[in-house]
Amino acid sequence: MIAEGLIALVGAGVLLAVAIAVPWLKFVLTIALAKGIAVLGILLLLRAGQVSFGHAMFLATGAYTVAFLAPAMPEALLLIPLGGLFAGLLGLLVGLFVVRYRDIFFGMLNLAISMVLYSLLEKLYHLTKGTDGIRVARATYAGFDLPRETQEWLMFAIALGLAALFGTLVAAYLRSPMGRALAGIKTRETRLEFLGVSARRVLLFAYVASAVMGGIAGTLVALTTRHVTPLLGYWTSSGELVFIAILGGAGSAVGAFLGAVAFELVRVYAAASVADAWQMILGGVLLLVILFAPGGLWGILAGRLKVRA
């Protein structure tokens, strides 16, 4: 726990140093941190042995919450929790239904529901402006209208702060009885029921928590990129989150952020060096990780540093 915290602290320090040294990477890292928060949610479900192929719907919910509300109420510090709230409500609604299913059925139902949301975002043309998306109005921070440079720094700081907050919460949660019960769902659910613990309730709690994190991540993405499109909720975005979880390693909360930062950097550099074949590099990296480091980047790091995950 302490070693994990130390690594996280060092990681945050490195990110900060990079953001200061290379201004344009600040944007990429903010997005990476936001995605890391969403991946934390995937991680919770992975602990229960469930993969959601539709988690981008919560990201899109958070992002569109910001896009719709920002013109009327441009306060970022309110928009962020509101995005989490709406995503959490959607998570509760969807969760009540999907936690009855396991494995491939769980994954596919999530995928199906997320594609329903995607289609709505695309088809309710007069509300959402379809695939062209909505420009996010300029946000204020605690009432201040800040210049671009300050705003970018602030978004980076908020993302970093929220990443630390949710990382700590998830780490604590996974050590709590509720978190242990998640692992119980993976190993043998019947035993859990014999202990008097409702597996559905355990999974529902984790599902709603992961939805909230997805929503928060979405608000951060929307406030940073300032333009939202339905593509945020497309199944490839969901796949991306699962990809990041595997890349980072499901063993630790730090893994989510490690994976997200690595993913964004690989994509940016792959796109910069071979603009027309960057997908191949990304795919190659994932294959290498699966073949040679099944524990993900966190597994490599923890092995080197002899940290027990």
Partner 1 sequence: MTQELSRRALMGATAGSLLLAGGNAGAQQKPSELRVGITTFLSGPASVFGVPSKQMAELLFEQVNAQGGIGGIPVKPYFVDEAPGTEHLVGEYRRLVQNEGVHVMFASISSGSCLACTPLSDEMRKTTLLWDCGTQRIFEEGKHPFAFRTQGFGTPEVLAPLLYLLKHKPDFKSIAVINQDYAWGRDSWELWKTAMDVLKPGVRVVAEMFPRLGATDYSTEVTRLLASRPEVILTTSWGGDLVTLVRQAAERRLFERSTFVMPVAEASLQLLGKTVPAGHVIGARGDHWNNHPKPKDPAKLAKFVDGYRARYNEYPIYPCHHMAQAISALQAGYAKAIAAKGGGWPNDQELANAFRGLTFDTPTSTITLREDGQGLEDQIVGLSSFNDKFPFAVPKDMIMFPAAMVSTPVGMKSVDWLKTLTPAILAQTPAPI
Interacting residues toward partner 1 by CB under 8 A: 14, 17-18, 21-25, 27-28, 31, 122-123, 125, 129-133, 135, 148, 221, 224-229, 231-232, 237, 264-265, 267-269, 271-273, 275-276, 278-279
> Three-state SS for 165?
helix
Q: In this complex, which beta carbon is closest to partner 1, that of residue 131 or of residue 176?
A: 131
Q: In this complex, which beta carbon is closest to partner 1, that of residue 106 or of residue 118?
A: 118
In angstroms, the CA 37 to CA 80 distance is 13
Contact partners, residue 217, CB within 8 Å, separation at least 6: 34, 35, 36, 37, 38, 58, 59, 62
Phi, psi for 85 (deg, rounded to 5): -65, -50
Q: In this complex, which beta carbon is closest to partner 1, that of residue 118 or of residue 298?
A: 118
Q: In this complex, which beta carbon is closest to partner 1, that of residue 51 or of residue 228?
A: 228
In angstroms, the CA 165 to CA 173 distance is 12
- Minimum distance between the CB of residue 202 and partner 1, rounded to whole angstroms? 33
- Minimum distance between the CB of residue 167 and partner 1, rounded to whole angstroms? 21
Rounded to whole angstroms, the maximal C-alpha distance in the chain is 58
Contact partners, residue 284, CB within 8 Å, separation at least 6: none
Rg (CA), the chain: 19
- Minimum distance between the CB of residue 206 and partner 1, rounded to whole angstroms? 26
Q: In this complex, which beta carbon is closest to partner 1, that of residue 2 or of residue 276?
A: 276
- Minimum distance between the CB of residue 229 and partner 1, rounded to whole angstroms? 5
- Minimum distance between the CB of residue 156 and partner 1, rounded to whole angstroms? 13
Contact between residue 309 and residue 252 where contact means Cβ atoms under 8 Å apart: yes
In angstroms, the CA 6 to CA 120 distance is 44
- Minimum distance between the CB of residue 181 and partner 1, rounded to whole angstroms? 35
Q: In this complex, which beta carbon is closest to partner 1, that of residue 218 or of residue 251?
A: 218
